[in-house]
Structure 1
Amino acid sequence: MYSTRSSSSISIAIGDLNKDNRLDITFINNNTGTIGIMLGYDEFFPIQTTYATGTEPYCVAVGDFNHDARLDIVVANRDSNTVGVLLGYGNGSFENQATYSTGSNPWSVAVGDFNNDINLDIVVANAHDNTVSVLLGYGDGSFANQTTYSTDSYPLSVAVGDFNNDNHLDIVVANYDGNTLSVLLGYGDGSFANQMTYSTGYEPFPVAVGDFNNDIHLDIVVANFDDNTISVLIGYGNGSFANQTKYSTGSSPIALAVGDFNNDNQLDIVVVNRDDNTVSVLLGYGDGSFANQTTYSTGSRPKSIAVGDFNNDTQLDIVVANFGGNTVSILLGYGNGSFADQTTYSTGSDPQAVAVGDFNNDSRPDLVVANFNDHTVGVLLRDGQADIAVANYGSKNLVTFLGSGNGTFENQGRYGINFDFAPLMIGAGSFNKDGRSEIFVAYD
């Protein structure tokens, strides 16, 4: 266990910060207003090095902002109304942050090349003043002053994609209080058109993109927490979208995922319904429309979802973390779009999220990251089976479920050494280059 010396480490990113072919860790200490760096050695991490940020840093991302083949850091400082950029020296150390003004309450940050100059730029969603800020990179690690673009009310999430097939990145924003999505088309010179808004249901938050009608144009799906629906907006490929088509879910849809559950090469959707203890599966017809939901019972107050093949039959299965029941539910897929009844496994107190996968068969370290209060970890073993690990916020411990390869899991193994902290964010990777994975935990 390695201390972050913070009671509120809320965001983690991973990368080789000192070019030694070992994974290093970058994390945000929300309550102390710092970024912490832990450099990976063959067998351990030394004590962190911290770097000052603005007040209440909330979201962190990495990229090479000055073309020196070394990773740099950008952090959204929510209460300072800034982003901080920390340039890396390539040995695991960083310059002091340079700060750039954003709008009020920058909530999330993404990067992309918005003006086609091969330099990374930054976009930030500003929740309190209903804007996004675009900061163009000069390629030397510095950025121009922000240009702001209006969104609808309370933008919480931002993503990028090319919605009009002009090879210029565009922006989509989910507006929680506006009950809309904002789409801002990029001109390719770093500027954006005024938003086009599209109605969603009430309180849209999680958003995903994919090609739901096989026309090679990006479409959008968003879960509407307050009206028990998802909205699907089909893209025309010219930057505009059809009006939403809404599909009923259970009560309070809080998370979603996409995958092909019936092996017809069409994307399907699965939604977590927090308040009626179900998941909804909506099978895609491949023309952008979806069948009515089929619901399957979970445990109490499911919070998150992941998919994977747990019984090695090449069919996608579902795992759900049940916050209210202190369990995870496994629903095995038959490969025809239907699922077996759940099998539940006990966890500790308050499991909020779950991550799964067999990450060690490709000889590459993989990463599972939990966001604030998601409490998940990926466990990577060398047996070719998918395993599950859950960090329990309430009981302050870590539990694992080892996969047997037939869709069942051993009883939980409890690690806790019982933590004297509440785990918040967790990741995994092979940090000592032995082909096995280790776990790191950020905590409250």
Structure 2
Amino acid sequence: MQGKSVTSGYQVTVYTILNQIVSRIRSTLAWALLTGGLTGCGMELPSPPPDLFHKFNVLEVDLGPTSLLTADLNMDGYADLVSTNAQNNTLSILLGKGDGVFNEARTLPVAAEPTTVVTVDVNGDEIPDLLTNARGAEQFTVLLGYGNGSFHKLTVPTGKVPLAIIPADFNADGKLDVAVTLTFDKMELFLGSGNGAFKKGETYLTGSRALSGVAEDFDRDGNIDIALAASSSNSSSIRIFEGNGDGTFSKPRRIAKNRVPLALIKKDMNKDGLQDLIFTSAQGDNMYMLISHGDGTFEKEIAFSGGGGPIALTAGHFNSDKQLDIAVANSRSSNFSLIVRKADGSFHYPTRDYVVDGGAPLAITSGDYNNDGMTDIAVAGNAKNIIEIYLQRRTIR
């Protein structure tokens, strides 16, 4: 064994392990101080919330599930699921039976590389429709629902590499319009005719590539605004485009600068009737919440933590209290984290984490899949092309 030091290698290994332990303790203590986990002189370290979910079902979908949504596509009163499958250029339609069980996935071919899907009533017939992007085909697809889980397909050309699909009535004519972000720092507007056809509107510079976005009247002036999660190597922020009510927008305003936002959702987190913003970040495995003032401005972002590589999130009532909680899919650590909120609105730490056997989860959604009045969770395992269904356990408070 000349020329090799077993002791040296052993010391390095021990040092690395000790370093990880110390780092974990420091992190836990920091969060304990922030969340009130240290009481008096006794160091009472916080514990995760109760085990609120159990894995109930595993569903096979096509190759490369990248996004999920929950909707009642066949209008039978039961929650259904839709998965975009980027590798095979398809959607998987899974019709729910109302007991946590779903029919075998029906595969719907769409244009190349779909990575996001939204549901909305495009043509005003009160039947759920779908919109999905096509990163590899420079278009988005309109799927007009028949109310039985099947669809009529239309396509709308876009600029290069469409990313986020953001539907709303941007010109106040009572017809649905669509904003589409593009890889090369742009956003295109498409004004709807009310029958599934769209006319190209204005194009706006976003400053950075926007992977996701939401529409809402953030300043309560009666016009729909857009918030984008825009990130690049040079600049990142949430960008707010204030709507003029005619399908045009003002120059964007930047908030939450340098947070490298990825997935963005809106929810009324503090029950004041205003839609707040929550987003995942590529910076330090963090997430952030922005509380709306109702005038287009927001409080300074509140940071909180999930697992390794938080990439997609959903909000819902995941326990028996009245606070909205958050579940986040962590692509690097192959799990999802349940982040429960306390009565005062702060976050319970540490999180309760659930291993995703399908690996590399890129998408998560929530809904009542077994019709018991409680919100459940579905998460897509990209590595094994499956969706895992987690049902909420009934708890007594």
1:393 is matched with none
1:35 aligns with 2:97: no
Q: Which moved more, 1:347-356 or 1:21-30?
A: 347-356
1:94 aligns with 2:151: yes
Q: Which amino acid aligns with 2:252?
A: Q
CA separation of 1:354 and 1:70: change in aligned 2, threshold 3 A: closer
1:70 is matched with 127
Spell out, residue by residue over 1:99-144, the C-alpha distance to the aligned partner (whole angstroms, 9 max, x if none).
1122222222122121222222212221x22111222221122222
CA separation of 1:117 and 1:313: change in aligned 2, threshold 3 A: closer
Contact 2:268-2:275 at 8 Å conserved across structures: yes
2:222 is matched with 167
Distance 1:234 1:45 in 2: 37
1:380 aligns with 2:391: yes
Contact 1:17-1:92 at 8 Å conserved across structures: yes
Within 5 Å, give how 1:79-90 maps onto structure 2: 79-90=136-147
Contact 2:288-2:303 at 8 Å conserved across structures: no
Q: Which amino acid aligns with 1:90?
A: G
CA separation of 1:313 and 1:346: change in aligned 2, threshold 3 A: same
1:272 aligns with 2:306: yes
Contact 2:133-2:162 at 8 Å conserved across structures: yes
Q: Residue 190 of structure 1 aligns to a residue in which SS?
A: coil
Within 5 Å, give how 1:4-403 maps onto structure 2: 4=61, 6-40=62-96, 47-95=104-152, 97-126=153-182, 128-177=183-232, 178-198=235-255, 200-207=257-264, 225-226=282-283, 237-239=294-296, 241=297, 245=300, 270-272=304-306, 274=308, 363-364=372-373, 366=375, 368-370=377-379, 373=382, 377-380=388-391, 384-385=394-395
Using the TM superposition, give the Cα deviation of residue 302 of structure 1 relative to its aligned residue in structure 2, in angstroms.
7.8
Distance 1:42 1:212 in 2: 28
CA separation of 1:54 and 1:236: change in aligned 2, threshold 3 A: same
Q: Which amino acid aligns with 1:384?
A: R
Contact 2:330-2:360 at 8 Å conserved across structures: yes
2:10 is matched with none
Q: Which amino acid aligns with 1:180?
A: S
Q: Which amino acid aligns with 1:115?
A: N
CA separation of 1:184 and 1:203: change in aligned 2, threshold 3 A: same
Distance 2:377 2:260 in 1: 27
**Normalised by the size of structure 2, how large is the TM-score?**
0.64
Distance 1:271 1:100 in 2: 38
Distance 1:213 1:319 in 2: 17
CA separation of 1:384 and 1:212: change in aligned 2, threshold 3 A: closer
CA separation of 1:367 and 1:173: change in aligned 2, threshold 3 A: same
CA separation of 1:46 and 1:327: change in aligned 2, threshold 3 A: closer
2:28 is matched with none
Q: Which amino acid aligns with 1:166?
A: D
Structure richer in helix, relative to its length: 2
CA separation of 1:238 and 1:33: change in aligned 2, threshold 3 A: same
Spell out, residue by residue over 1:241-261, the C-alpha distance to the aligned partner (whole angstroms, 9 max, x if none).
47x857xxxxxxxxxxxxxxx
Distance 1:367 1:3 in 2: 18
Q: Which amino acid aligns with 2:394?
A: G
Using the TM superposition, give the Cα deviation of residue 147 of structure 1 relative to its aligned residue in structure 2, in angstroms.
3.0
**Normalised by the size of structure 1, how large is the TM-score?**
0.58
Question: What's the RMSD between the two structures over aligned residues?
Answer: 4.7
CA separation of 1:154 and 1:366: change in aligned 2, threshold 3 A: same
Q: Residue 174 of structure 1 aligns to a residue in which SS?
A: strand
Contact 1:200-1:224 at 8 Å conserved across structures: no
Distance 1:314 1:42 in 2: 24
Distance 1:229 1:49 in 2: 36
Contact 1:54-1:77 at 8 Å conserved across structures: yes
User: Alignment identity in percent?
Assistant: 26
Spell out, residue by residue over 1:208-252, the C-alpha distance to the aligned partner (whole angstroms, 9 max, x if none).
55789999776656665447887787766554x47x857xxxxxx
Q: Residue 368 of structure 1 aligns to a residue in which SS?
A: strand
Number of residue pairs matched by the alignment = 333
Q: Which amino acid aligns with 2:112?
A: T
CA separation of 1:191 and 1:347: change in aligned 2, threshold 3 A: closer
Distance 2:292 2:98 in 1: 48
Contact 1:100-1:145 at 8 Å conserved across structures: no
CA separation of 1:371 and 1:136: change in aligned 2, threshold 3 A: farther
Highest relative contact order (Cα 8 Å, sep 6+), 1 or 2?
2
